[in-house]
Amino acid sequence: MKLLVVGGAGYIGSHVVRCFLDNGHNVTVFDNLSTGCRENLFKEGEFIQGDILDIPLLQEVMAGGFDGLVHLAALKSVEESMSFPEKYSVNNITGTLNLLNAASESGIRHIVFSSSAAIFGNPQYLPIDEDHLKNPPNYYGFTKLEIEHILQWYDRLKKIRFAALRYFNAVGYDPEGRIAGLEKNPANLVPIIMEVATGKRKKLQIFGDDYDTRDGTCIRDYVHVSDLATAHLLAMEYIHKFNTSDCFNLGSEKGTSVLEMVESAREITGKPIPAEIAPRRPGDPGNLVATSAKAYKTLKWKAQYSDLPTLMESSWNAYKKHL
């Protein structure tokens, strides 16, 4: 297939591109390099530097004709989205509308979209399946849910088939070490832990130890980014083959607490990783764990690298090069 991967120089995007290339597909990356980086580009792929707010450029690029589009270009800081919702409206919602309209005009009919567990909010029950109530606790999650709704309309009205992949917590790096770029100014737990381990940051703040969980810290479902990448390939093949649209929750189905993450990182890095308890972060649910039974049944997707040691070790292998 000839694919356009928007946001393909980013952390998840570069793993997705690697997976498509490894499986013999032809990939063009479109990225503005605001959070993505050149180091994450591969010589087998094409690269166009551009922004999803640039409508004429999107039209020009898509006129080239593609069998499918993977859309990963978004801002993803939960905290920032609550302080600067305007930025998230423009980049995440307007940018996606630009992409969809250009895709629709140019005859692209298959889209795999990066959605998020952030669409669900506080769980009503665990594990979280696809039908769970959608009540995003932050503006970032709201932008993802809005886009899912818009995709449903474009499916109905323009026959654009899509797969919305709701990632739980994406972590880890390519186990073969082929992805070199580190995230710039990360706000997520594992990259922050890694920056403490490399000495770039002094200590980790653990946001709350008074949750109703086994050790009081938040529980999340950490899933390896290479496993997520495989899901994009399977989802793209699936929507082509069955001419259908669908949503999938992607997680490892295992809950790990912040303290357990820190302990594992200490073990694997051999670094002390100083940590202190800080107040809760607003909008953080205590416990989020997915069921990926639907992805398993429909896409035959199963997390392979999402055990805690592999998650930490592959992250550390990427970060320790920067010691």
User: One symbol per residue from 131 to 170: x for binding ligand UD1 (CB under 6 A), - otherwise; what is it?
Assistant: -------x--x-------------------------x-x-
- 285 lies in the binding site for ligand UD1 (CB under 6 A): yes
User: Given the rule CB under 6 A, which of 36-44, 110-118, 234-242, 313-321 is the region that contacts ligand UD1?
Assistant: 110-118
Out of 284, 298, 302, 310, the only residue in the binding site for ligand UD1 (CB under 6 A) is 284
CB of 308 to ligand UD1, least distance (A): 14
Q: Is 82 in the site for ligand UD1 (CB under 6 A)?
A: no
Question: Taken in order 51, 224, 83, 37, is the CA torsion positive or negative?
Answer: negative
Using DSSP bridges, classify how beta strands 222-224 and 169-171 pair: parallel, antiparallel or unpaired.
parallel
Among 3, 74, 118, 311, indicate the residue that binds ligand UD1 (CB under 6 A): 118
206 touches ligand UD1 by CB under 6 A:
yes
- In the complex, minimum distance from the CB of residue 201 to ligand UD1, in angstroms, rounded to a whole number: 9
What DSSP string runs through 139-194? HHHHHHHHHHHHHHHHHHHH--EEEEEEE-EEE---TT----PPPSS--SHHHHHH
How are the residues of the chain apportioned to helix, strand and coil, as percentages rounded to the nearest 5?
40, 20, 40
Q: Looking at beta carbons only, is 28 or 91 nearer to ligand UD1?
A: 91
Looking at beta carbons only, is 149 or 300 nearer to ligand UD1?
Answer: 149
Single out the segment in contact with ligand UD1 by CB under 6 A; choices: 146-154, 181-189, 226-234, 248-256: 181-189
- Rounded to the nearest whole angstrom, what is the least distance from the CB of residue 169 to ligand UD1 in the complex? 5
CA-nearest of 3, 29, 24, 12 to 109 is 3
Identify whether the C-beta of residue 218 lies closer than 8 Å to the C-beta of residue 284.
yes
Distance CA 190, CA 222 (A): 10
Count of other CB atoms within 10 angstroms of residue 210: 11
Rounded Cα distance, 192 and 178, in Å: 21
Q: Which of 218, 236, 259, 265 binds ligand UD1 (CB under 6 A)?
A: 218
Least CB distance to ligand UD1 at residue 168 (A): 7
CA distance 260 to 266: 10
Nearer to ligand UD1, 68 or 208 (CB): 208
**Catalytic residues, which ones?**
140
Question: Apex CA 23: angle with CA 17 and CA 24, to 5°?
Answer: 95
Q: Of 220, 224, 271, 294, which lies in the binding site for ligand UD1, with binding defined by CB under 6 A?
A: 220
> Does position 116 bind ligand UD1 by CB under 6 A?
yes
HEC states along 188-257?
CHHHHHHHHHCCCCCCEEEECCCCCCCCCCCEECEEEHHHHHHHHHHHHHHHHHHCCCEEEEECCCCCEE
Options 4-12, 29-37, 154-162, 186-194: segment touching ligand UD1 (CB under 6 A): 186-194
Q: How far is the CB of 44 from ligand UD1 (least distance, A)?
A: 28
**Site of interaction with ligand UD1 (CB under 6 A):** 76, 78, 116-118, 138, 141, 167, 169, 187-189, 192, 204-207, 218, 220, 258, 281, 284-285, 288
